[in-house]
Structure 1
Amino acid sequence: MSSPILLVASNDDLKSVTIFKSDRAEVTRYFSVALQSGQNDIEITGLSSYVDVDSVRVTGLGDARLFEASCKVQKREVWRKSESLETSDSERIRILNDKKTALTQEKNVCESAATLLRDYGKTLSGEHITPADADTFLDRYLARGSALARTVAKLDEEILQVKREIEDITAEGSLKKGETAGKVNVTVMAKSQTEVLLKLIYVVRQARWKPSYELHAHADESGVPASSVSLQYRATINQTTGEDWRGVTITLSTASPSLIDESIPELKPSRISPPYQRPVAQTTSFGFASVRSRGAQPLQSAPTGALFGSALAATGSGPHTENEEEDEAELVDPPPAFEPVTSIAKESPLFISYKIDGESSIPSDGEDHKVSIADLPFQATISHVVVPKVKAVVYLEAKVKNASDYRLMPGPVNIFFDNSFVSKTSIKDIAPGGEFTCTLGPDMGTRITYKRSSKLEKDTASRFSEQYATTTYTALTTINNTHPFALTKLVVRDGLPISDDGNRVRVILREPSVLAEAEQGEQKEVGEHKVAWCSPSGRKDGLYEWQCALEAEKEVTLSTSWDVKAPADVKWIETS
C-alpha cells in the first residue's frame, strides 16, 4: 500500500468564500493531486478548527471514484505536535532568520574584499610601479570597487526585506485568532495513473457580515442642495476561523444555513374542551373536607372599552351572587399539553447573494473589514424641516427612492454632505422601489425664532354656573431665509397639548381654524401656506405641520393660537 498523499491547506489553494449572515461561511479550495492506479489515501490538514465535520464535500475527481471522505478536528496537543513545519509561523521565521544570516555573511565578505582592495592600493608607490601599471590597477580598482559597492547595496535591500517579512509574520501571529486543527481524509480509487484537480468544499463557523452604507449628498454651484445623491453599499466582514482569506473571491449571502437537522414541522390536531377545574374543598360540620365541583360554564368575551373609559368586567350567564362565587370551582391553567395560540406572522424571503468584484483579503483577526458591494446613484427629494418648539434649527432632510435592483438590508448609514461627515442614521429593509429618509445636517443659512405667550382670563362667578379659567396661548414661528435661493419645500412641525380629561379640561384650537376641520391626511390652505395633521396619528396626538415655500432673503411668520379651558379650581400642568 502506497504512502498517503499529504496536503496542507494554504492561501494558494483557496479560491472562493461565501459568507452567510448566520455566523457561517462556505470555503472552496482546489488541490492538484497526482493519483496512482488503485487506492489513494489523501490527507488534508491546516483547515479551520471551526469546520463543520459533516459539511465536507469532495468533487473534481474525473474518472476516479470517491470511496470515502471524513473530517475531524484534532485535539489541541496532537495538532500542536503535528503542525506542518512548512506553514507554522515559527518555522517560517526560522527560515527567514537563516536567510538573513546568510545575506549578512555575504555582505561581510564583500565589505572585507573592498577593505582588502583599498589596503592593497595604499601599499603601491611610484618607486615600484610604472605609470602604465598604475592606470591598469586604477581601472581594475574602480571596476571591482563599484561592483562590490553595488553588491553590498543589493544585499542591504534584501536583508531589509527579510526583516520586514519577519516583522509582518510576527505581527500577524500576535493578531491572528483561531486555530487550524481541522483535517480531512479522502480515499479515492483510480483506474490508472492520472492527475486531478480535487475540489474541497466545507462550512466553518466564526465568520459573519453585516451591511453598512455611506450616503453622499452635495450642493450645486449656487449652493442649492442637489437632488442627486450617491449611496455606497458596503459590507463589514469579521472572521476568527483561524484561516486567513487573502486574494480570494468573496460572495455575501443573506441565507442563514443551519448546522442542525432541519425538517418540515409536523402538524398536530388541536381540540377545544372545557377548561380544567380545581376542586374546591368545603368544610363539613365535622371538620372534614368534602370535594364539590360544578360543570364548566362558557365564558363571554369582555366588551371592548371606550378610548377614555375602562373595559367592563367579563361575566358569566345568569345571575351571580356572593354565595355562588364561593361555591364555584376555581379555573386553573390546563396541563402543558397545548399552549394558547397567538397570531404570529413569519416570512421566508428569497436568499440574496452579492459577489464582490475583484479579490479581497480578510485575515482571521476578529477585526472589521469593509468591502464594497455597489455604488448606487439615486434621486432624492430635499426638504428643509424644523421643529422650533424643540430646537430652533432647520435641518436638511432627503427622501431617497431606491431605484436600483438591490434590496437594501437593515444597517447603519454614515451621511456626508460635500464630503464632510454630518450625521449617522439607520435604514430598515428597503425593497427596490421603496423609500427612506435621512437627515443631511443643519442648514445654517435659515434662521428660526420661536416665541410662545399666554394670557389667563377667568369667568365671573355666579350662583348657577361654575367659574371657568381660560388660558389663551399663541405660538409665533418666524423663518428668515438668508440664502440667495428659494426654499421650495419648508416643513415646520409643532403640536397642541392634548387633554387627558376632556370632560374637565378642554383644548380649543383658534388659529388656524381650518386645521380643526381637517381630517387625518387632509391639507388645508392658510393663505400661501398649507397646514395638515402629521402622519400617522397627528390629529389624535395634536401634532401638525406647516408646508411653505420661502423666496430668497425673505421672511415669514406662522401663528398658532389655542385655549385651555378648565374650572377655576382645577389645577393642570403641560408635560411632554
Structure 2
Amino acid sequence: MKTKFSFLTLLFIVSSFVIAQDIQELKIDSKVNDVTVFLDGAQVTRKKTVDVPTGITNIVFVNLSPYIDSKSIQVKVKGKVMVQSVSQQRNYMNNQPDLAEAEKLHAEIFELRKQLKLAQTYLTITRKELDFLNDNRIISGRNNELSITNLKETSAFYGERLKALKLKEIKQEDDINQLEKKIQQLENQRNQLSDNRGFPTGEIVIKIESKTNSKSEFELSYLVTNAGWFPSYDIRAKNISEPVEILYKANVHQDTKVDWENVKIRFSSSDPNVSGVMPSLNPYYISYNYRPSNYGRIISEVSGFIYDNKGEPLPGASVSVEGTTIGTVADINGHYSLMLPAGSNRLKISFIGYSSKTVDANQPLINIALNESAQELGEVSFRDVEATSISDALQGRIAGLDISRSRNKKNIADKESIAVPFVQTENQTTVEFEISVPYSLKSDKKTYAVEMVDYSLPANYQYFCIPKVDKDAFLLANITDWSKYNFLEGEANIFFEETYIGKTILDVRNAGDTLQVSLGRDKNVVVQRELLKDKTSRQFIGTKKEVSRAWEINVKNNKSQKISMVILDQVPVSKNEEIEIEIKDLSGAKMNNDTGELKWEFELNPAKEKTFNLNYLVKYPKSRTLYIE
C-alpha cells in the first residue's frame, strides 16, 4: 500500500511538472487605442492581434499603468481560443531609478555639503574677528594720554580692518547661499529621478488555451485612477444688447504613468466611483430643545494648501466638491481655490499614492494633509467574447448635437488651451463629448484646458440688487432653452465689456426653465438705501409701544443704455397676534404676504434715477422687548 501511494504521488508530481512546462508565455506590448475620461478616473482600451501557439499560453500585457482597478478589467478575444483566467500583477523590475545617475547625484551632494560646512566654519571665524575688533575699539585706558598722531593711525587701522572683514563676511555669506541653492537643485533632481522612474509597471495576464496555431484579436479595457476632468467656462458679454458667449472647456489631467499617444478620447459626465444606491429618508422627530439640521450654505469659496505628512506641497492634487462636477487642481505650490455651490460643503481631495480624504468646507481657509497609501491588487474576473463590457455600454448612444470646427490635429501638451472638433452625445444618464481627432496627453501633473465648444446664446439681461444686504447691482443673463446644451455645474470666468470681472458658479442643478448666469457687479448702476431719521420714531400709546421705520432707496443709471432692474427688500412679518404690522408706504412694490418680501421691477433710462420709499409701523405691548431693524 505504501509503495502504491508513493508511485501515485510521484506520477502526480511528474504530470504536474510536464503540464507546467507546457504553459508558454508571451509578453505583449500594446498601444492605447481610446480613452473615456470620467469625472474621476478613466477607462482605457487597448487592442492587439497576437499569434497564438497551440496549447496553454499566458498572454502578458506589459508596461501598463500601476493604478488599474482590478475589478474593472474586461477581456474580449476574437479567435478560436478559450480564456481560462485573467489576473493582474505588478512588475517592480521595470522603470527602476538609474542607479549610476542616482549615485553620481549623491556624490555631488556629498561633496557640496563638505564645501558648505567649510564655508560656514570660515564665516564663523570672520564673525569672531569682527566681534573681537568691536570689543577692543577703545584704544586708550583711563590713565593714558592719546596723541593726535596715534589716534589717526589707530582710526585708519580700525577702519581698514573693519572694511576688509565686512567685505569678507558678505562674500562668505554669498558663497554659502550659492552652495545651499546648488544642493537644493541637486536634491530636487534626485527626487525627480525617483518620482519618474521609481514606479512599478502594471501587467495583466490572460491564460488561454488554443487547439491550433492562430491569429487572435485581443481587446483589453480597464479603469485607471489618477486621471479625470472637470468642466469650466468662460462667459463673455460685450454689452447688455448682444448675445452672451459661453466657452465650454474640459480641464483634463492624467498621471497614470503611461502616456496616451494619438488616442481617441471622450469626456463623460459619469463618475464610476459614485454610489448608485438610491438614498432614503429617516424619520423626522421633533421635540423640545431639538435643533434641526442647517442646510444653508456657510461659505461661498474655499482655498488653502495640500501637503504630505512631511509638510511638502502636493502639486497636482485633485480637489472636488462632493456630489458635483466642480473641481480644481492644486498648483505647483500646493495651493488651491474653489467656489462652492449652494447646499454643497464637502470637499474630496485625492492624489497619486495617497489616501483620499473628504472634509467639511466649514471655513474659507482649509489646509489639508494627505497620508501615503499602498494600493492592493488582486485577481479579477473576466468575460468571454460575447459578454457585454463597459466599452459596449458606452457605445449605446442616441443622436446628439454635432458641432464641427475646422481644426488641425494637435497635441494637448503643446498648449494649455486647445480648441478641438468634437461630437456631443447624450446617453440615458450621462453626457459624452467625443473629440473627433486623435491627440496625445502626457502622463504628468499638469491640467490642460481643452476648448470643446463656443456657444452664442440669446439672453435677457436684468440688473438685480438687494441693498439691505449688498448695495452693489449684479447683472444677470437669463438664458432660455439652456438644457439642450448639456451644461454641467462648474466654475466660470466672467468677462463683461471686454474686462475680466471675476468668477462665478454656473449652477445648473437649481435652474428651472431659465438659466440665470451672474455676470458680476456693475459699478455704473448705483443703489443707495438710507434710513429717514425724520420719519423714524418710538412712542408709547396706552399699553402699546409703536416703532416707526422709514427707508429711502435711490437707483441711478450711469450707463449709456437703458437697463431693466429688480430691487428686493422686505417688511417684517408677525407670527404673534400681540404684534401688529402696519404698512405706510411701499412705492408700488409687489409684496409677498407670507414672507414680507418686496419687489420693485422697472426700467431706467441712461443718466436717470428713481427713488422708492419703504415705511412701516410696528405695534406691540410696551412690557415686551422687540428687536426692529
The TM-score by the shorter chain falls in which range? 0.5 to 0.7
RMSD value over aligned CA atoms? Answer: 4.0
Could you say which residue in structure 2 is the equivalent of 1:251?
A: 266
| Contact 2:546/2:619, CA 8 A, preserved across alignment | yes
Could you say which residue in structure 2 is the equivalent of 1:68?
A: 84
| Contact 2:42/2:227, CA 8 A, preserved across alignment | yes
Deviations 1:182-231 (A, max 9, x none): 21223455666555553222223343333332222222xxxxx2341122
* CA distance in 1: counterparts of 2:512 and 2:470, whole angstroms: 33
1:31 corresponds to which letter in structure 2?
K
Matching residue within 529, 533, 539 for 1:458: 539
Deviation, structure 1 residue 402 = 4.1
2:83 corresponds to which letter in structure 1?
F
Matching residue within 532, 542, 551 for 2:590: 532
How does 1:172-183 map onto structure 2 within 5 Å? Answer: 179-183=199-203
With over 3 angstroms needed to count, the CA separation of the structure-2 counterparts of 1:490 and 1:572, relative to structure 1, is: same
* CA distance in 1: counterparts of 2:268 and 2:76, whole angstroms: 23
* CA distance in 2: counterparts of 1:551 and 1:562, whole angstroms: 30
* CA distance in 1: counterparts of 2:504 and 2:573, whole angstroms: 30
How does 1:202-221 map onto structure 2 within 5 Å? Answer: 202-219=222-239
Residue 26, structure 1, aligned to residue 43, structure 2: yes
Residue 441, structure 1, aligned to residue 520, structure 2: yes
Task: Structure 2 unaligned segments of length 5 or more: list them.
Answer: 1-21, 103-188, 279-284, 288-426
* CA distance in 1: counterparts of 2:256 and 2:32, whole angstroms: 14
* CA distance in 2: counterparts of 1:25 and 1:391, whole angstroms: 44
Could you say which residue in structure 2 is the equivalent of 1:509?
A: 583
2:462 corresponds to which letter in structure 1?
S
| Contact 1:56/1:200, CA 8 A, preserved across alignment | yes
Deviations 1:241-294 (A, max 9, x none): 33333432222223344799x999xxxxxxxxxxxxxxxxxxxxxxxxxxxxxx
Deviation, structure 1 residue 562 = 1.0
Deviation, structure 1 residue 559 = 1.3
2:601 corresponds to which letter in structure 1?
Q
SS at match of 1:443: strand
* CA distance in 1: counterparts of 2:286 and 2:509, whole angstroms: 40
Could you say which residue in structure 1 is the equivalent of 2:451?
A: 372
Identity level (%)? 22
How does 1:217-366 map onto structure 2 within 5 Å? Answer: 217-219=237-239, 225-257=240-272, 350-366=429-445
Matching residue within 69, 72, 76 for 1:52: 69
Deviation, structure 1 residue 560 = 1.7
Deviation, structure 1 residue 28 = 0.8
Could you say which residue in structure 1 is the equivalent of 2:301?
A: none
Select between 38-47 and 425-434 the one with higher mean Cα deviation.
425-434
Deviations 1:468-512 (A, max 9, x none): 33232221112222223222x111111213346441x32211113
Larger radius of gyration: 1
With over 3 angstroms needed to count, the CA separation of the structure-2 counterparts of 1:476 and 1:431, relative to structure 1, is: closer
Deviation, structure 1 residue 437 = 1.5
Deviations 1:378-426 (A, max 9, x none): 2221011222223332221112234463322232233222443323222
* CA distance in 1: counterparts of 2:490 and 2:226, whole angstroms: 20
How does 1:78-117 map onto structure 2 within 5 Å? Answer: 79-81=91-93, 83=94, 90=98
Could you say which residue in structure 2 is the equivalent of 1:484?
A: 560
* CA distance in 1: counterparts of 2:264 and 2:97, whole angstroms: 25
* CA distance in 2: counterparts of 1:450 and 1:570, whole angstroms: 29
| Contact 2:487/2:508, CA 8 A, preserved across alignment | yes
Could you say which residue in structure 1 is the equivalent of 2:409?
A: none
Q: How many residues align?
A: 376
| Contact 1:376/1:404, CA 8 A, preserved across alignment | no
Deviations 1:438-480 (A, max 9, x none): 32122222222322124325355xxxxx343323222111222
Q: With the length of structure 2 as denominator, give the TM-score of the two structures.
A: 0.52
1:355 corresponds to which letter in structure 2?
E
Deviation, structure 1 residue 16 = 1.0
| Contact 1:52/1:259, CA 8 A, preserved across alignment | no
* CA distance in 2: counterparts of 1:53 and 1:388, whole angstroms: 57
With over 3 angstroms needed to count, the CA separation of the structure-2 counterparts of 1:46 and 1:398, relative to structure 1, is: same
* CA distance in 2: counterparts of 1:362 and 1:434, whole angstroms: 38
Could you say which residue in structure 2 is the equivalent of 1:336?
A: none
2:547 corresponds to which letter in structure 1?
T
Could you say which residue in structure 1 is the equivalent of 2:25?
A: 4
Deviations 1:120-171 (A, max 9, x none): xxxxxxxxxxxxxxxxxxxxxxxxxxxxxxxxxxxxxxxxxxxxxxxxx999
* CA distance in 2: counterparts of 1:419 and 1:410, whole angstroms: 24
Could you say which residue in structure 1 is the equivalent of 2:551?
A: 475
* CA distance in 1: counterparts of 2:268 and 2:477, whole angstroms: 29
Deviation, structure 1 residue 29 = 1.3
Deviations 1:18-48 (A, max 9, x none): 1234x44221112343444565542222222
Could you say which residue in structure 1 is the equivalent of 2:389?
A: none
SS at match of 2:594: helix
| Contact 1:53/1:70, CA 8 A, preserved across alignment | no
Could you say which residue in structure 1 is the equivalent of 2:604?
A: 550
SS at match of 1:413: strand
Residue 496, structure 1, aligned to residue 595, structure 2: no
* CA distance in 1: counterparts of 2:286 and 2:96, whole angstroms: 73
* CA distance in 2: counterparts of 1:92 and 1:7, whole angstroms: 29
Task: Structure 1 unaligned segments of length 5 or more: list them.
Answer: 95-168, 220-224, 265-300, 304-347, 461-465, 514-525
SS at match of 1:539: coil
